[in-house]
Amino acid sequence: MHFRTLRQLAEQAEAAGLSIGRYMLQEQAGESGKTPAEEFQQMATYYGIMKDAVRRGLTEDTTSRSGLTGQDAKRILAYRGGAATPSVEVPPIAGAAPGADASPGAKATLGAGSPPHAEAPLGAEVPPGGHTLLGDEASLAMSYALAVSEVNASMGRIIATPTAGSCGIIPGVFVSCQERFGWSDEDMTHGLFAAGAIGYVIANNSFVSGAEGGCQAEVGSAIGMAAGALADMRGAKPTQAIHAVGLALKNSLGLVCDPVGGLVEVPCIVRNGFGAVTALAAADMALAGVRSVIPSDEVVQVMLEVGTAMPDTLRETARGGLAQTPTGQQIMKDLRKKK
């Protein structure tokens, strides 16, 4: 690759007159010695797997082996009043999901998985997104992101982006935006190259694993990648799109990695849902002309610095943070017993 910073990436893409995604495809082919067509095909296959994971997360039982998580994507979708397009048919959730039994908190707040206005037949009178505070598009992206992360937690097939813990964010915003804007699979595949280009710079200048740099490195990086790619796909100039990365990363700096019981479930899955929403917000900011005053490359350096300073207990060891709360410890004990 000819770039090692986001700035170089953006400037080189602009000089070539290409979007970040198209420039990265060219760079990738140069690096691997394969043809651009071959590289494109591999990425297109990955996008197919992402779409399949969204579908499965919305239609299949995603209760994890621990029983801690699952079915939340469907809850969001039911609450918001169905999918934007009828491409996915969502079966009704009968009562609380089995997974909810293991987390009493979820049961109390979710009731039987019903929205506040359960009397209204879902998807009929209630327009999509009608119940939600977020609105139509963001709530859809959120539910798709949760869907993919739930498929991951239930040992289904996903694409690590950049890791499995953060695998929901990019498919969440990509698949929902594809439906919304009518983008082709080819557009989406180029978008994945853009996301990958941004992740490549972050990973080589900082880190992308929770064990090394906390959750900011996983979920944070995925949000930055998604935000920059979305701006790129919406036609932002590369230098403008790169601002989305810095804007997004600033919002997740310091996020610790504290998976309860060491499982990629709590808080990982909901962080993917939030991450999708944040990615949309950051992309919108950049498209509107909001700039990251601290340049994105410097924010990446801060992530490195903050992650390095994080104690071991907050870097995927499940020895701190949410994992060590009274409830977190209890869950861990119960899991050991179950074994």
Is there binding between residue 71 and other proteins (CB under 8 A)? no
Q: Find all residues with CB under 8 Å of 104, minimum gap 6, and list them.
A: none
Bridge partner list, 257: 315
The CA angle 142-148-149, to the nearest 5 degrees, is 85
Binding span for other proteins by CB under 8 A among 77-85, 97-105, 208-216, 234-242 = 208-216
* Binding-site member from 163, 176, 216, 252 for other proteins (CB under 8 A): 163
Contact predicate 318/261, CB 8 Å: yes
Is there binding between residue 39 and other proteins (CB under 8 A)? yes
Is the bond leading into 259 cis (omega within 30 degrees of zero)? no
Query: Any idea which residue has 């082709």 for tokens?
Result: 184
Tell me the number of residues near ligand SF4 by CB under 6 A: 14
Is there binding between residue 165 and ligand SF4 (CB under 6 A)? yes
Among residue numbers 166 through 195, which ones bind ligand SF4 (CB under 6 A)?
A: 166
Among residue numbers 220 through 259, which ones bind other proteins (CB under 8 A)?
A: 225, 259
Of residues 209 and 292, the one with the C-beta less far from other proteins: 209
* Binding-site member from 77, 106, 158, 175 for other proteins (CB under 8 A): 158
Contact predicate 232/191, CB 8 Å: yes
Contact predicate 239/5, CB 8 Å: no
Query: What minimum distance in Å lies between the beta carbon of 265 and other proteins?
Result: 7
Is there binding between residue 206 and ligand SF4 (CB under 6 A)? no
Q: Find all residues with CB under 8 Å of 165, minimum gap 6, and list them.
A: 152, 210, 215, 218, 219, 259, 264, 268
Q: Find all residues with CB under 8 Å of 183, minimum gap 6, and list them.
A: 177, 191, 233
Nearest to 214 by CA among 300, 329, 312: 312
Binding span for ligand SF4 by CB under 6 A among 58-66, 171-179, 267-275, 306-314 = 267-275
Binding site for other proteins (CB under 8 A): 1-4, 8, 12, 24, 27-28, 30-33, 39, 42-43, 46, 49, 64, 66, 151-165, 167, 170, 192-193, 195-197, 199-200, 203-204, 207-212, 217, 225, 259, 261-265, 312, 315-319, 335, 339
Binding site for ligand SF4 (CB under 6 A): 165-166, 210, 215, 218-219, 257-259, 264, 267-268, 271, 316
